[in-house]
């Protein structure tokens, strides 16, 4: 099971595009011509139910309009094919209704991805295993099994990265304020939820990211306040034209990269976290520092042993907060 629902008009829509444009569409205007997409269930789609993966008796479960990203793809020739299975409500039932105490419990042996409506997907490479650690499992599985060509997922913490890793598909995961999610979607955490693009290759993902950009409004979504402020990561050229190829000289010389050392601190006697942290740190230093020649800087933390192979940030969150708090206290007393 990879879908929580499919579009009954998908074939008719494909036939309409075929009749109108045939094999000669204007690919500048419709770069997604004929590309089949699935969407994580929380995305509003006007022709399919949207319940966040839950078997809920909503009075109306068909949204009045598409999510802006769905609309952009539809307008550019994509086939809006299916809603992908996900962990219901992107994680679990609860807020704002409080703790869920069901009369009956559906146990799951397939990991963090249970949906009372769509069931549990399995890993396409080993169907006895879970599809992923992460709630957008159906999005990645549908791409990995060639049921669709691409999918939009949503990530609160690892909901796109986990499925991408476990199902061998590519992912571009822009930061929250670059492309919208909150406008026209069922979210789990308004401060963290963001859209991710699953595809067969980074080239495909980059082309989709370019197609999501409106010619006039860019990536701005009037229903998502996080997209209001222009961002430096939104480039003027196409993202697909900036992918590295065999002729690209891979180097990060003269680039400083900060390592948040707080994220690598673990309990002293933890036998599970130590090998993971050690391996991650070794890879960061080898790939970014040694092979790509980036200058690595570490933040300070009382529980972190300074790494001699990296420099130290002159300003980090802990030091900045130490400087800022006295100023804030002084302002507070002045106001009183």
Q: Are residues 203 and 67 in the same domain?
A: yes
Q: Which of 147, 3, 143 is nearest to 86 (CA)?
A: 3
Helix (H) / strand (E) containing 228: none
Does 19 have pLDDT greater than 70?
yes
Does 2 have pLDDT greater than 80?
no
Sequence-separated (6 or more) residues with CB below 8 Å from residue 107: none
Q: Are residues 44 and 158 in the same domain?
A: yes
Q: Are residues 178 and 273 in the same domain?
A: no
CATH, residue 27: 3.90.1300.10
Q: What share of the chain has pLDDT > 70, as a percent? A: 90
Does 336 have pLDDT greater than 70?
no
Q: Is residue 163 part of a domain?
A: yes
Q: Is residue 315 part of a domain?
A: yes
Sequence-separated (6 or more) residues with CB below 8 Å from residue 299: 258, 259, 260, 261, 262, 313, 316, 317, 318
Q: Judge contact between 152 and 39, C-beta under 8 A.
A: yes
Sequence-separated (6 or more) residues with CB below 8 Å from residue 68: 180, 183, 184, 221, 223, 224
Q: Is residue 61 part of a domain?
A: yes
- What pLDDT score was predicted for residue 109? 47
Q: Judge contact between 205 and 170, C-beta under 8 A.
A: yes
- What residues make up the domain containing 275? 256-335
Q: Map residue 129 onto helix, strand or coil.
A: strand
For residue 104, name the pLDDT band (cuts at 50, 70, 90): low
Q: Are residues 183 and 268 in the same domain?
A: no
Q: Which of 74, 64, 80 is nearest to 7 (CA)?
A: 80
- What pLDDT score was predicted for residue 101? 64
The pairing of strands 126-130 and 3-6 is unpaired
Last residue of one domain, picked from the residues 212, 242, 272: 242
Average pLDDT, stretch 55-82? 92
- What pLDDT score was predicted for residue 110? 45
Q: Is residue 249 part of a domain?
A: no
Does 37 have pLDDT greater than 90?
yes
Number of structural domains (the chain) is 2
Q: Using CA atoms, how far apart are residues 48 and 66, in angstroms rounded to an integer? A: 10
Q: How far is CA 162 from CA 90, 130, 255, in A?
A: 13, 11, 28
- What pLDDT score was predicted for residue 333? 61
Q: Is residue 137 part of a domain?
A: yes
For residue 314, name the pLDDT band (cuts at 50, 70, 90): confident
The region of weakest confidence among 10-19, 50-59, 147-156, 197-206 is 50-59
Last residue of one domain, picked from the residues 242, 266, 292: 242
Q: Is residue 295 part of a domain?
A: yes
Q: Name the range with the highest mean pLDDT among 94-108, 178-192, 311-325.
A: 178-192
Q: Are residues 37 and 105 in the same domain?
A: yes
- What pLDDT score was predicted for residue 105? 55
Q: Are residues 76 and 221 in the same domain?
A: yes
- What pLDDT score was predicted for residue 100? 58
For residue 229, name the pLDDT band (cuts at 50, 70, 90): confident
Q: Are residues 229 and 138 in the same domain?
A: yes
Q: Is residue 251 part of a domain?
A: no
Q: Is residue 250 part of a domain?
A: no
User: What pTM was estimated for this model as a whole?
Assistant: 0.80
Q: Are residues 166 and 265 in the same domain?
A: no
Please report, to the nearest 10 degrees, the dihedral formed by the alpha carbons of residues 72, 209, 159, 154 taken in order.
Answer: -20
Does 3 have pLDDT greater than 90?
no
Q: Are residues 85 and 193 in the same domain?
A: yes
Does 177 have pLDDT greater than 80?
yes
């Amino acid at each position: 099971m990879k879908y929580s629902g499919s579009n009954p008009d998908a074939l008719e829509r494909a036939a309409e595009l075929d009749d109108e444009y045939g094999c000669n569409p204007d690919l500048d205007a419709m770069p997604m011509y004929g590309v089949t997409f699935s969407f994580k269930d929380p995305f509003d789609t006007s022709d399919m139910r949207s319940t966040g993966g839950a078997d809920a008796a909503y009075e109306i479960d068909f949204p009045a309009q598409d999510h802006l990203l769905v609309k952009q793809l539809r307008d550019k020739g994509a086939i809006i094919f299916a809603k992908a299975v996900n962990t219901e409500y992107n994680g679990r039932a609860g807020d704002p209704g409080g703790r869920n105490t069901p009369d009956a419990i559906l146990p799951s042996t397939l990991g963090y991805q249970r949906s009372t409506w769509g069931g549990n997907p399995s890993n396409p490479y080993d169907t006895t295993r879970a599809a992923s650690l992460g709630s957008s499992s159906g999005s990645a599985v549908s791409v990995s099994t060639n049921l669709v060509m691409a999918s939009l997922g949503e990530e609160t913490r690892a909901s796109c990265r986990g499925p991408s890793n476990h199902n061998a598909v590519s992912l571009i995961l822009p930061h929250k304020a670059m492309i919208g999610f909150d406008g026209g979607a069922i979210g789990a955490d308004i401060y963290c939820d963001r859209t991710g693009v699953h595809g067969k290759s980074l080239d495909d993902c980059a082309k989709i990211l370019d197609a999501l950009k409106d010619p006039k409004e860019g990536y701005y979504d009037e229903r998502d306040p996080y997209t209001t402020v222009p961002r430096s990561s939104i480039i003027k050229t196409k993202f697909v034209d900036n992918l590295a190829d065999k002729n690209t000289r891979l180097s990060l010389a003269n680039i400083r990269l900060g390592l948040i050392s707080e994220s690598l601190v673990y309990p002293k006697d933890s036998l599970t976290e130590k090998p993971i942290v050690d391996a991650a740190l070794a890879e960061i230093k080898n790939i970014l520092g040694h092979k790509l020649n980036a200058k690595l800087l570490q933040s300070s933390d009382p529980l972190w042993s300074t790494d001699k192979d990296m420099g130290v940030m002159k300003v980090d969150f802990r030091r900045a907060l130490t400087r800022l708090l006295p100023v804030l206290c002084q302002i507070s007393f002045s106001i009183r």
